[in-house]
Amino acid sequence: MVFMTKHHLHDRHLSRALNIGTPYLWLGLFFLLPFAIVLHISMAETALAQPPYTDLMSWVDDGVLQIKLNLQNFVTVFTDELYLAAFLNSLWIALVCTVLCLLIGYPMAYAIATSPERRRVILLMLIILPFWTSFLIRVYAWIGILKPNGLLNNFLMWLGLIHEPLTILHTQTAIYIGVVYSYLPFMILPLFANLTRLDFSLLEAAADLGCRPFKAFLKVTLPLSLPGIVAGSMLVFIPVVGEFVIPDLLGGPDSLMIGKMLWTEFFGNKDWPLAAALAICLLGLLVVPFVFMQRLESRMGGDEL
């Protein structure tokens, strides 16, 4: 008996090491360490070399290690009005789209969560399906719809509602449409997860006590679904701030977004250090909402995702 317990103890240690250690090691190496390197390279200078940046550290003649930190890239990011405008516009687009997703997604999640069990499974699958379907393809679908001689304009002109094609593609409106369309399932899924666990007898109790349905919703349902609202909003807001594909394919020259500028600095101008500095600033901007989401999630047991 004693022998067996010893075995079990040994197994337990092994299991801990395997279950915790392996993913930890992987994420540490391929997710955490890279940020340190980005920070490092954001303080280098561009150079005509392969890779195109200078070393921060170099050995001077008498064996002294010289470290040159170059903060010029950050100065550029903070003083150039173009970058500032891009940051502000990215935050604005993310905010508007999060609110729109919430306004559209909440009633949808509510309808699914309160429908009969059998129907609920099918409705949920219908939400998950577009979430799995290629992001790129779904954004691409909107080009054909929104362009000047596209399906939407043809349809509206056929109806006689408009006589001149509307310019929607390559404007900020197209970005809003593309983002809300692509990120709506990210809002609905955590809201649904939250609302299905809601105790609807509380609403009946409120009704029995003479509360009008809308007031009961505001006083009971809405506060109880707050964790779902926050989780869904963060799942939309955080990635949208750094979105690249949507502003690139649907946006125009006036709709600046930071993800797109980072891409251009990196692939177009080959300015790796400046791209790294932009990434660090973007990361710094997103830490606050991320930590907020994380704290809420650990308090709620993490079922919202």
Q: What is the 8-class DSSP label of residue 58?
A: E
The stretch near another protein (CB under 8 A) out of 62-70, 71-79, 156-164, 180-188 is 180-188
Query: Between residue 145 and residue 174, which ones bind another protein under the rule CB under 8 A?
Result: 145, 147, 149-151, 154
Closest CB 45 distance from another protein, rounded Å: 15
**Interface with another protein: number of residues (CB under 8 A):** 95
The stretch near another protein (CB under 8 A) out of 80-88, 141-149, 159-167, 222-230 is 141-149
Closest CB to another protein among residues 61, 116: 116
Q: What is the Cα–Cα distance from 295 to 72, expressed in whole angstroms?
A: 35
Question: If you search the block for the tokens 């594909």, which residue do you land on?
Answer: 245
Q: What is the Cα–Cα distance from 40 to 255, expressed in whole angstroms?
A: 30
Q: How many residues comprise the chain?
A: 305
245 counts as binding another protein under rule CB under 8 A: yes
Q: What is the Cα–Cα distance from 238 to 16, expressed in whole angstroms?
A: 32
Query: Between residue 22 and residue 81, which ones bind another protein under the rule CB under 8 A?
Result: 22-24, 26-28, 30-35, 37-38, 41, 51
Closest CB to another protein among residues 62, 263: 263
Closest CB to another protein among residues 62, 164: 164
Query: Between residue 248 and residue 287, which ones bind another protein under the rule CB under 8 A?
Result: 249, 259, 262-263, 266-267, 272, 275-276, 279, 282-283, 286
Closest CB to another protein among residues 61, 301: 301
Question: If you search the block for the tokens 């949808």, which residue do you land on?
Answer: 108
Closest CB 284 distance from another protein, rounded Å: 11
Closest CB 39 distance from another protein, rounded Å: 9
Q: Are 32 and 283 in contact (CB under 8 A)?
A: no
**Chain centroid offset of residue 229 CA:** 15
Query: Between residue 203 and residue 242, which ones bind another protein under the rule CB under 8 A?
Result: 213, 234-235, 238-239, 241-242
108 counts as binding another protein under rule CB under 8 A: yes
Distances (CA, A) of 156 to 148, 152, 168, 280: 11, 6, 13, 45
Buried b (16+ CB within 10 A) or exposed e, 70-93: beebbebbeeeeebeebbebbbeb
